[in-house]
Amino acid sequence: MTLAELPLLQQLLLVLAALVLFTSFVLLEQARLVSAIHAFAWQGALIAAITVIVATGGGAKHLYFSALLTFMLKVLLIPWMLHRQVQRLDLERHTQALRRPALVIMAAVALVVFSYWLALPMVAQELTFTRNIVAVSLAIVLIGLLMMVFRPQAVLQVLGFMSMENGLFLAAVSTTQGMPLLVELGVAFDVLVAMVLFGVFFLQIRDSIESLDVDRLNRLTETVENER
Amino acid sequence: MTAVLLTVFAPLAGALVLALLRSSYWAGWLNVAVAGLSLTASAWLARSVALDGEIAGLSFRVDAFNVYLVVLTAFVGLTTSIFSRPYMAHVRETQRTGAGGLRVYHAMYQAFMFTMLLALTTDNLGVLWVAVEGATLSTVLLVSLYRTPEAVEAAWKYFILCGVGIALALFGTVLTYFAALHVLDDPEAGLTWSVLYGHASDLEPAVMGIAFVFLLVGYGTKIGLVPMHQWLPDAHSEGPTPMSAVLSGLLLNVALYAVIRFKMLTDGSLAATTTPQLAGYMLMAFGMLSFLVAGLFLHRQRDVKRMFSYSSIEHMGLMTFAFGLGGPLATFGALLHMLVHSLTKSAIFVTVGHATHIAGTQDIDHIRGLIRTQPAVGWSLLIAVAAIAGFPPFGVFTSEFLLLTATMDAQPWFTIALLSGLAVAFAGLFRNLQPMVFGAAPEGQGPVTANMLPVMTHLALVLWLGLAIPPFLARWLDRATELIAGGHLL
Amino acid sequence: MDQALSFALLAVGLALASSLVSCFAARFPCLLRLVALPVFALAGLAALVAGVVALWDGGTATMTLPLGLPWLPWQLHLDALAGFFLAIIGIVGAAAGIFAPAYVRGIERSSESLPMLGGFTGLFLSGMLLVVLAGDAFLFMVAWELMSLSSYFLVAFHHEHAANRRAAFLYLLMAHIGGLSILLGYGVLASFGGGFAFTAMRAAELTPGWASVAFALAFVGFGMKAGLVPLHAWLPEAHPVAPSHISALMSGVMLKVAVYGFIRFVFDLTGEIQWQWGVAVLAIGSLSALMGVLYALMQHDLKRLLAYSSVENLGIIFIGLGLSLLYLGTGHRLLGALALVAALYHSLNHALFKGLLFLGAGAILHSAHERDLEHMGGLLRRMPWTGLLFLIGCLSIAALPPFNGFVSEWLTFQASLQAWQLDSGVLRALIPIVAATLALTGALAALCFVKVYGIAFLGQARTRHVRRARPVPSSMRAGQAVLAVGCVLLGVLPTAVVALLSVIPEQILGHGLPQATAHGWLWLTPVAPETGSYSAPLVVALLAAMAVAAAWLWRRGVVRRVRRGDPWDCGFAMPSSRMQYTATAFAQPVRRVFGLLFRIDESVETDNKGVLRHRLAVHDRAWTLLYLPIARLVDAGVRRIVRLQSGNVRIYLGWTLATLLVLLWIIS
Amino acid sequence: MDYLLTFLPWLLAAVQALLYLALAPLLAGWLRRIKARLQNRRGPSLWQPYRDLYKLFGKEARVATTASPLFRAAPYIVFVATWLAAATVPLIAVDLPTAMVADIIVLAGLLALARFFLALAGMDIGTAFGGMGASREMLVSALAEPAMLMAVFTLAMTAHSTNLASMIDAQLAAGLVLRPSFLFALGALVLVAIAETGRIPVDNPATHLELTMIHEAMILEYSGRHLALMEWAAQIKLVLYGALIANVFFPWGIAQSTAPTALATGALVILLKLLALAVALAISETVLAKMRFFRAPALLNLALLLALLGLLGHVILEVGS
């Protein structure tokens, strides 16, 4: 059926999903650290919204809770912690443009297409009215990974990691109307702990190499000093 | 049931207490005590499993496959904790970390044990994922315990790579859940492995295939499969040695365990399609690749712990290959190999710990004449490496014998790769080992206080397994083989 | 038969006990000399008894041990073949056990290495015994690798020298590869026979292709252990650096264990034999024999020379085996049995004289502290007993009648001269050529050992410490004497031995040598009296008689006095010991005639004082042709592969992403 | 009577063995005489070698102070081994028990035994010449031995036996058959014989010029009876090879029974054969010059080639028929 025939709620859903995808593109090529964090927060917010819509539409009550969880974690807590980190490492002014942006963006687009192609068999499964979003969530995961590959700045890498988590969450919501509660809590807890540890590591890395450029973390290698 | 709970949650309680306990002296002992408690509980658990097939409930499930891994985990946990008490004391004397560091160490040690045991015993794939992620989180601080630039770097790489990998694994889990929801009416049970295994044949093949790819890449990162292995040598070489021992001995096993569980589901779902063996082929490919690549890496090592971590990659590759090969013989061999490899490898790391204390460095070129300086350490290292290289009468030989012959049966041409891989790996190990143990000792190198009890126990067990496999263990392994490969040997 | 098996088990137990006892030798050094080694000798004796009883009885005995895999317990199996090799292990083991204590006394000062020596010697012996006794592939492999590993530790015994460590490493590496390929060979048999027990494998029906694969794997594996060219490079490195009685065990016995494995695998288990295998074995065998003796000629380190000559003798043994395979493959079972017996006989002989020679080298090392021929000389008058026994060893290894080496070579010739019975003209032509190679090898061996004996024991001492050499203690002499007596007996009474040996082909090939010993103990007639006969006792008797006659001849009323004086030497003044022919000079004609086969770098340079210096080094071509290329290959692979570990985390993540995408693409 | 029949062959063998002893110096003398005649010299009398031996036996033996017991034992071993080797070669009658005791491979072995001790004796004193002679002698024989055995194998494969008596019997039974293989084998065996017995062009028995000596260099230190035994052994060896070539390739006339007439003819015939061979050898030694030592291998390779051709000729041309 064509888009026009879909119920309004679902159309809204698709719009939001598109926006989420857009935010991760923004995240990918955002130069300023702070605005990257904001973009990440927006992504979280959008996903929370999607969750609420799915909850009302699909009538899965526990999704309200996970929507709340997402909002707390991804929109408030983690961005706030990142902000504090950035301030402590006085990186507010830090900007770092993406190298070869055109190439990277093309790669990201390719990933989107790839994930759509990949998601087809799943879309073929008539299950929920959110099925089309599977492709989007997969794309977000892959783009997050891509961002980690192309962004040498530690904080940005963490952002990429977190946006991968967003993608996963979106996938959970869109495909299966959320995971069992136990798992959701566990995942959320892990993410939180991970965020704390990332904070610790920012400081440790800063202490050891006076920078957050992970490219300079290259002592441990077989190629250079092991030439016998 | 209580046995399960005791086994799993004793370490958790221990972790909490240790986190609060100030005296690092008592912490060391308490660490040992908790590990011992957990081991006794696991022994009890094993006994009850041996009596009445399997234990299930509270989304825990212990069957023949994981019970022996549970016992193994608890056992290695105990011996390593025994070793780590004097070791960490020595570390503290040499000012490489402070009291706080020791507190973190002990607490995280038990937390890690908890996650391992939880991952092994749980029946819920989601909890499994949480536990494995928890294992990363609990060990990553230990890798950076010494705060040297290398340590921090290693920890960061470990964290990022395993985090990404584990995220992918979560995606796979989600997809599995998605596939499950079609065939199951109760969504809550959608992640319960036993239920899924019951309906494995109904799961949508396309989805399960994609899911398995994500899971393989995800958990494969933790197994240390090439080309996702790069974190492993760094983490092993920079963390404190007891950590390396448990990482090599336990974490890799658990990750492999997870992959096997999912492989069983995937096989069931793909059985009807044109490529029923797909998962197996993937495992074989990754296993063989890791096996060969790691063997080559062994030749260019300066850091002794790095070298042995590569040897871990090699052996995990071998096991992965064998599980992919399938069939009772190969599976039995792989299970046995899991057992003997973790025993031997942890023994090796413990010995290496002593050796590094003797020489005061991890640099292979500066570890010399161990046999002259401290025969106990030198000989243990020599014997243990001979064992890991697959020389009888040690258990590794038995399992490799089974693997090779099984391969000869099923895929004769792979034996050529196996043969050359084993030879290359062996050469790599011994060409570095010999100067370390043999030869004259350098000036001013003296023996250290070493507790060789754990090593001796491990080697004795491996020797025993090489000479004769006790019947009860044989029955376990056989039932596990039946679970995985659907065939008997006995 | 069962008592034979129990004797064998007793031997294994004693060997293990000796290694156990010597674990405490670090605290009580004398323990090794007074308890462990005598027990070791007893173990050898028990094995000898077991072997002889088994050969005499000619039956088989089996037994199952409560060890091994749950569905594959260790099985012991003792038949005539196993018994024969038990006897070989036993006699050399006993001799080494008698010889060793005096050697050990020398090193008791550095007592922390004693447990290593004693313990692994015991393990080594028990490993070899178990290989021979094994009744299933699993126990066979366990014992095999145990043998390799323990001997590795013995090679590494003097591990202070980096060269010895390298030798030990090379040895263990090749032993490991060989073991793996043997294991795969058994894997092939097992997958057809449906089990690892030898009984199951015997019953298996292999397709010719797979049978050839199994044969190839076994040939590579056992050949590597037996030191066949071109897989021999480890042997001359590893055997000399071990303590001398260990060298005797390794060269004399361990190589025979490899021969045993080959015979068991190919003749007994594989079933249908194809004549092409025989051609391959013949080719490799003759190559090894020739190269072995030529390289032996080039050596001047006594133990190294003996090691190379082991390569030669194993080549001769495999020539015999190849002939046997060829005849069996073309359906001549009698001739196959004959060639097999010849090979077995030579195995026994080589065990005896090579053990004897290595013990002799050990004696020289013990009293003159010298391994280099160029520094020896005149030892016959310093240590007459060792000199005499060593001479017997040299005569035997040079295949001179009436000593034992000649008998086995004669049998091999007899077997090869029956080639006219073959249908294929090519084979008819091939075999005599091989025989000619064998003849050349024998003559060169004679040359080689004239050099050894003449340089080491005759002439003048070339260095001061050799001039001060003392006779060795009687226990050492006794150890050598045992083997020397064996050499003489086997040379003089071949008929009895062949009668015993022909049980083996009867058992595993179902065809013995009915004619060989049909004409009484005097006559050895392999095929028939008119095709060729040899009567060693009569040869000895006639030699004695003629010696008497000659003595009588010159006793007829002529001067009996012998006047001592300076040597004549074409009127040169009394020559100094440095004017003697050196070992290198002695071998120089051969080096010129066979120059192509060696990698020689020779140079004459004058140092600043205007003194001429002549440097000469003869290298093994196998290194440049086979080993170094492989090593380079591995290194190149390593250099490529380490790029994976570039150190940049983003690249690692890139790998993860790439892998993921590739897999996803494959799957959908 | 039958007791006599079993005893007779042994007696015959003993007689033959003694005949070798007796004939050896004669052949040497004959050879020298012919050579002298070819060189237009009168030369010594036929009996000179006997006189030399007698004289040497009468002289006292002088042994270097540096000599070991082996030095004094060697002459007897060399002599006895050579003599026994000779005794196994049928001289005047075919069916000898000694031929059963030791076939042709054993014969080669016995000669090798003699050579082994000869070389050791050469090295015993520790003079440079002794070592040189030993090294060269051993190399020459090492190269000669495969050629000889190949030639012998050709015969053995024709006769299906390594037993000299049976070989000769087979030859006689077959009658006069022209075998290409035998031609080559004969050539090979002649070359080998020249090399082994130390004749020109490989070695010169008459020389005492140090650097050209091979055999002489080894026995340089001997004197008196020791020297006598060595010389005698060398002469026996010459006769041995002569008899071998003569009787294996041209066996006609040899006694196949123990009838006195047969034996008499046999003795006469073999004497003529040997003398004829000696003439041929003398001629070749007069026309040829001794070659450099390192060209000797070429000669022996030729021998090996001939033997190989003989063998292949046998396999290809003769067995098929």
pLDDT digits (tens, 9 = 90+) for C294-303: 999 999 999 9
Collect all residues of chain A within an 8 Å Cβ-Cβ radius of residue C656. Answer: 145
Residues of chain A contacting residue B149, judged by C-beta atoms under 8 Å apart:
208-209, 219
Mean pLDDT within A188-212? 85
Residues of C in contact with D225 (CB under 8 A): 554, 558
Closest residue in C to A117 (Cα–Cα)? C668
Which residue has tokens 């021979």?
Answer: C132
What is the SS3 assignment for C257-293?
HHHHHHHHHHHHHCCCCCHHHHHHHHHHHHHHHHHHH
**Which A residues, 197 through 216, put their C-beta within 8 Å of a C-beta on chain B?**
197-198, 200-201, 204-205, 207-209, 214
Residues 220-259 of D with CB under 8 A from C: 220-221, 224-225, 228-229
Q: Is the peptide bond before C29 cis (omega within 30 degrees of 0)?
A: no
Cis (ω within 30 of 0) for the bond into D251?
Answer: no
- B75 pLDDT band, cuts 50/70/90, is very high
Q: How far apart are CA B251 and CA B242, in angstroms?
A: 13
pLDDT value at residue A3: 58
| Pairs of residues, one from chain A and one from chain C, whose beta carbons lie less than 8 Å apart | 50
Residues present in chain B in total: 490
Give Cα B333 to chain centroid, integer Å. Answer: 16
ipTM for this model:
0.90
On average, the pLDDT of chain D sits at 87
Mean pLDDT of C304-312: 95
**In terms of DSSP bridges, do strands D61-64 and C562-565 run parallel, antiparallel, or are they unpaired?**
parallel
List the chains bordering chain C where 3 or more Cβ pairs fall under 8 Å: A, B, D
Residues C186, B405: C-beta atoms closer than 8 Å: yes
Instruction: Tell me if C286 sits within 8 A of C114, measured CB to CB.
Output: no
Best CA proximity match to C231, nearest among C171, C295, C168, C163: C171
What pLDDT sits at residue A131?
Answer: 63
| The dihedral formed by the CA atoms of D251, D257, D263 and D269, expressed in degrees to the nearest 10 | -20
Q: pLDDT tens digits, residue range C356-407?
A: 999 999 999 989 888 999 999 889 989 999 999 999 999 999 999 889 999 9
Q: Nearest-CA neighbor of B215 among B152, B137, B129?
A: B129
- Residues from chain A that touch B237, judged by Cβ atoms under 8 A, are 220
In the stretch 81-140 of chain A, residues with CB closer than 8 A to chain B read: 118, 121-122, 125, 127, 138
Lowest mean pLDDT among A114-123, C81-90, C414-423, C492-501: A114-123
What is the arithmetic mean of pLDDT over B20-37?
85
DSSP character string of C582-646: PHHHHHHHHHHHTGGGSEEEEEEEE-TT--EEEEEEEE-HHIIIIIHHHHHHHHHHHHHHGGG--
Q: How confident is the model at residue B210 (pLDDT cuts 50, 70, 90)?
A: confident
Nearest-Cα distance to chain D for C526, in Å, is 11
Flag if C656 and A152 touch (Cβ within 8 Å): no
Smallest Cα distance from C657 to chain A, Å = 7
Answer whether D80 touches C (CB < 8 Å).
Answer: yes
Q: Is A225 domain-assigned?
A: no
- Could you report how far apart the first and last alpha carbons of chain C are, in Å? 66
For residue A171, tell me if it sits in a domain: yes
Query: Rounded to an integer, what distance in angstroms lies between the CA atom of residue A200 and that of residue A44?
Result: 23
Domain membership flag for residue A80 = yes
Mean pLDDT in residue range D216-220:
86
pLDDT band at A227; cut points 50, 70, 90:
very low
Cα nearest neighbour of C643 on chain A: A223
Q: Above 90 in pLDDT, residue A59?
A: no
> Is the CB of A93 inside 8 Å of chain C's CB atoms?
no
**CB-nearest partner of B297 from A168, A193, A222:** A222
Measured at the CA of C525, the angle between CA C520 and CA C528, to 5 degrees, comes to 115
CB contact under 8 A, A118 and C661: no
Task: Indicate the pLDDT class of residue A226, thresholds 50, 70 and 90.
Answer: very low
Phi, psi of C78 (to 5 degrees): -120, 115
Least confident of A175-189, B405-419, C68-82: A175-189
Tell me the per-residue pLDDT of A115-135, one tens digit each, with 9 for 90 and over: 888 887 776 665 555 567 788
| Listed residue (A214, A145, D50) closest to B166, CA to CA | A145
Q: Where are the domains of chain B?
A: 1-123, 341-490
Which of 70-129 (C) contact B at CB < 8 A?
A: 70-71, 112
pLDDT in tens, D67-86: 898 998 999 999 999 999 99
Of D190, D186, D219, D216, the residue nearest D203 (C-alpha): D216
> Do B431 and C169 count as a contact with CB atoms less than 8 A apart?
yes
Nearest CA in chain C to D143: C440
Q: If you average pLDDT over residues C129-136, what whole number do you get?
A: 94
Flag the least confident range among C119-123, C537-541, D93-97: D93-97
Asked if B471's CB is within 8 angstroms of C663's CB, the reply is no
**Each residue's pLDDT tens digit, B84-124:** 888 888 888 887 777 788 888 889 999 999 999 999 988 88
In whole angstroms, give the CA distance from residue C599 to residue C595: 8
Size of interface A-B (CB pairs under 8 A): 141
Report phi then psi at C606, rounded to 5: -105, 130
> Among the residues of C398-424, which ranges form H helices?
404-416
Q: Chain D closest CA to C457's CA: distance in Å?
A: 8
**What is the pLDDT, as a whole number, of residue C25?**
82
How many Cα atoms sit within 13 Å of B81 on the Cβ side?
A: 30
Q: Has this prediction a pTM greater than 0.90?
A: yes
Extended beta strands in C49-113, E state: 61-69, 72-78
Contact C657 A226 (CB under 8 A): no
- When the pLDDT of each residue in chain A is averaged and rounded to a whole number, the result is 82
**The predicted structure's pLDDT at residue A2:** 56
Integer Cα distance of C598 and A44 in angstroms? 77
- Chain C / chain D CB contacts < 8 angstroms: 277
What is the predicted pLDDT for the residue at D3? 66
* A148 Cβ under 8 Å from any chain C Cβ: yes
Q: Where are the alpha helices (DSSP H) in D43-179?
A: 48-58, 69-87, 97-101, 104-124, 128-159, 164-174
Give the residue from C251, C254, C16 showing the smallest Cα distance to C126.
C16
Candidates C82, C5, C49; CA nearest to C508 is C82
- Cα distance from A121 to chain C (closest Cα, Å)? 9
- Burial class from Cβ neighbours inside 10 Å (0-12, 13-18, 19+) for residue C210 reads middle
Digit-coded pLDDT (tens) for C241-296:
999 999 999 999 999 999 999 999 999 998 889 999 999 999 999 999 999 999 99
Measured from the Cβ of residue C650, the count of other Cβ atoms closer than 10 Å reads: 17
The pLDDT, as a whole number, for residue C304 is 94
Instruction: Look at residue C566 in the predicted model and tell me its pLDDT.
Output: 82
Give the contacts of D305 (CB within 8 A, at least 6 positions apart): none
- pLDDT at residue B186 is higher than 80: no
Cβ–Cβ gap C649/B217 under 8 Å: no
Q: How many domains does chain A have?
A: 1
